[in-house]
Amino acid sequence: MKSRWSDAEAGEFVARYAAQGVGEDLALRVYTTRLLGADPKLVLHGGGNTSVKTRMADQLGDEVEVICVKGSGWDMGNIEPAGLPAVRLQPLRRLRALDKLSDEDMVNFQRINLLDAAAPNPSVETLLHAFLPHKFIDHTHSTAVLALTDQPEGEALAREVFGQRVAYVPYTIPGFALAKSVAAVFDGNPDVEGAVLLKHGIFSFADDTRTSYERMTEFVTLAEERLQRGRKTFVRSQSPEKLARTAEIAPILRGACVISREEQAGAVKRQILCFRTSPAILEYLNGAELKRYSQQGVVTPDHTIRTKNWPLIVPAPQSGELERWKGEVEKAVTKFVAHYHEYFARNNARAEPKKKELDPSPRVILVPGKGLFGLGASAKDAAIAADIAENTVEVITDAEAIARYQPSPEADQFDVEYWSLEQAKLGKAAEKPLARQICVVTGGGSGIGAATAKAMAADGAEVAVLDRDRAAAIHVAREIGKSVLAIGCDVTKPDEVKRAFAEVSKAFGGIDIVVSNAGAAWQGRIGDVDEETLRSSFELNFFAHQSVAREAVRIMLAQGTGGCLLFNTSKQAINPGKDFGPYGLPKASTLFLMKQYALDYGRFGIRSNAVNADRIRSGLLTNEMVASRAGARGVSEAQYMSGNLLGREVTAEDVSQAFVFLARMPKTTAAVVTVDGGNIEASLR
Q: Which residues bind Zn ion (CB under 5 A)?
A: 201
Q: How far is the CB of 139 from Zn ion (least distance, A)?
A: 6
Q: From CA 172, how far away is CA 415, in angstroms rounded?
A: 10
Q: How far is the CB of 421 from Zn ion (least distance, A)?
A: 12
Closer residue to Zn ion (CB): 75 or 248? 75
Q: How far is the CB of 125 from Zn ion (least distance, A)?
A: 6
Q: How far is the CB of 148 from Zn ion (least distance, A)?
A: 16
Helix 209-228 and helix 24-37: axis angle, to 10°? 20
Closer residue to Zn ion (CB): 201 or 581? 201
| Closest C-alpha among 572, 522, 421 to residue 108 | 421
Query: Using an 8 Å Cβ cutoff, are 392 and 299 in contact?
Result: yes
Q: How far is the CB of 426 from Zn ion (least distance, A)?
A: 17
Closer residue to Zn ion (CB): 76 or 650? 76
Q: What is the DSSP letter of 670?
A: S
Closer residue to Zn ion (CB): 186 or 336? 186
Q: How far is the CB of 195 from Zn ion (least distance, A)?
A: 11
Q: How far is the CB of 408 from Zn ion (least distance, A)?
A: 12
Closer residue to Zn ion (CB): 391 or 446? 391
Q: Which helix (H) or strand (E) holds 313?
A: strand 312-313
Output the CA–CA distances (angstroms, integers) from residue 111 to 128, 133, 166, 326, in the order listed.
Answer: 16, 21, 31, 50
Q: From CA 619, how far away is CA 291, in angstroms rounded?
A: 55
Closer residue to Zn ion (CB): 87 or 434? 87
Q: From CA 145, how far away is CA 71, in angstroms rounded?
A: 24
Which residue's Cβ lies closest to Zn ion? 201
Burial of 471 per CB tally in 10 Å (0-12, 13-18, 19+): exposed
Closer residue to Zn ion (CB): 303 or 363? 303
Query: Using an 8 Å Cβ cutoff, are 509 and 254 in contact?
Result: yes
266: left (phi over 0), alpha (psi -120 to 50) or beta: left
Closer residue to Zn ion (CB): 201 or 407? 201
Query: Using an 8 Å Cβ cutoff, are 598 and 536 in contact?
Result: no
Cis check for the bond before 353: say yes or no (omega within 30 of 0): yes
124: left (phi over 0), alpha (psi -120 to 50) or beta: alpha
Closer residue to Zn ion (CB): 212 or 516? 212
**Beta bridge partner(s), residue 516:** 567
Closer residue to Zn ion (CB): 37 or 677? 37
Closer residue to Zn ion (CB): 77 or 201? 201
Q: How far is the CB of 302 from Zn ion (least distance, A)?
A: 7
Closer residue to Zn ion (CB): 143 or 561? 143
Q: How far is the CB of 54 from Zn ion (least distance, A)?
A: 22
Which strands, in side-by-side order, build the sheet including 312-313?
A: 272-276, 371-376, 364-367, 312-313
Q: How far is the CB of 174 from Zn ion (least distance, A)?
A: 6
Output the CA–CA distances (angstroms, integers) from residue 395 to 198, 328, 412, 453, in the order listed.
Answer: 14, 29, 19, 40
Helix 470-480 and helix 447-458: axis angle, to 10°? 30
Query: Using an 8 Å Cβ cutoff, are 125 and 50 in contact?
Result: no
Q: How far is the CB of 140 from Zn ion (least distance, A)?
A: 8
Q: From CA 455, how far away is CA 156, in angstroms rounded?
A: 57
Query: Using an 8 Å Cβ cutoff, are 425 and 450 in contact?
Result: no
Closer residue to Zn ion (CB): 201 or 374? 201
What phi and psi, each to the nearest 5 degrees, are found at residue 309?
A: -75, -30
β 563-570/606-613 pair status: parallel
